[in-house]
Amino acid sequence: MPTMWPLWLLTSLLALSQALPFEQKGFWDFTLDDGLPMLNDEEASGADTSGVPDLDSLTPTFSAMCPFGCHCHLRVVQCSDLGLKAVPKEISPDTTLLDLQNNDITELRKDDFKGLQHLYALVLVNNKISKIHEKAFSPLRKLQKLYISKNHLVEIPPNLPSSLVELRIHDNRIRKVPKGVFNGLRNMNCIEMGGNPLENSGFEPGAFDGLKLNYLRISEAKLTGIPKDLPETLNELHLDHNKIQAIELEDLLRYSKLYRLGLGHNQIRMIENGSLSFLPTLRELHLDNNKLSRVPTGLPDLKLLQVVYLHTNNITKVGVNDFCPVGFGVKRAYYNGISLFNNPVPYWEVQPATFRCVTDRLAIQFGNYKK
């Protein structure tokens, strides 16, 4: 029945709030990730579960208010794919999820969300929004998830709600992140801002001051190096599909809490000795599709490292101590994934002892092929 599918929409949102940010595939096309799957490690996920709506938000509402053409059920207002030019009126004040994706909205005006003080999630993906009034989000005192990707924004929206936990703003036209734009967002946990023409110079000093992010993704941008002024609270940092050419000694100095570091699809030729020593809790390292000529030094010293992606590089030799420390009992977690395929390595010369700290041989991907 057509009236029942918004319930599925809300159920999906509830599941989303407890999922790893990096693995939100197939739900409104939030990410464009490809490649090998990530670890399902709750401890490392950075997922926030405190923002799940109360159970009473699932109680049916009998309000007669529903914008023309939209579907309204269980406090969910679904107005996607209607060709809307503006945010519709007559939205029930008890709405918790408002879906306006895939429309032709160009502007968010001052009173567009007036009275929606219970709104938990706002979906504006794939519109034509280029202008947002400075007070457009003022009524949204309980908003935790804002998805405004695939629009025409040239700047981070001003005066975001202090309750915000998750911001998805990838695939816009943002070139600059000024200092103070995130002021007061003490609850912010996750920001996805890839697919914007951001260069390193576009981040003003102090742009992320005050944020205690777990997850940040700035992929598919124009970065030539690892930004040095990101939140030091990060557990996951994804900078894939940029133009980074090297990792210098102190590039990772402030990111000692990282569990996952994504640097695939860059132009990295060199990783300076000692660079990885600043990442004692690292569990996943993605360096695939770069221009490395050797396995990075320092991997054996990362006691919790479990996954290393090195496929599609220019690696010509793999040493017996490149991955595993000398001696037993040194490494606290064995590898369960090492990818080395599509490298010019003479694999028959690699000694079996090279992978003595790997769970089993199926965890190693060899061979000059592309998966």
3-state secondary structure 15-62: HHCCCCHHHCCCCCCCCCCCCCCCCCCHHHHCCCCCCCCCHHHHCCCC
**Average pLDDT, integer, range 170-177:** 97
Residue type for 152, please?
H
Looking at the chain, the whole-number percentage of residues with pLDDT higher than 70 is: 81
| Mean pLDDT on 247-259 | 95
Lowest-confidence pick of 13-22, 79-88, 236-245, 359-368: 13-22
Over residues 99-119, the mean pLDDT reads 97
Exposed, middle or buried by CB within 10 Å (0-12, 13-18, 19+), for 308?
buried
Q: 347 φ, ψ to 5°? A: -65, -25
130-151 pLDDT, tens digit each: 999 999 999 999 999 999 999 9
Mean pLDDT of the chain: 85
In terms of pLDDT, which residue wins out, 219 or 41?
219
For residue 65, what pLDDT band results from cuts at 50, 70 and 90?
A: confident
Poorest-pLDDT segment among 40-54, 138-152, 228-242 = 40-54
Task: Give 207's contacts (C-beta < 8 A, 6+ positions apart).
Answer: 177, 178, 179, 181, 182, 229
pLDDT of residue 201 exceeding 90 = yes
Stated pTM of the model: 0.82
270-275 average pLDDT score? 95
pLDDT score, position 26? 34
Question: What pLDDT does 54 receive?
Answer: 45
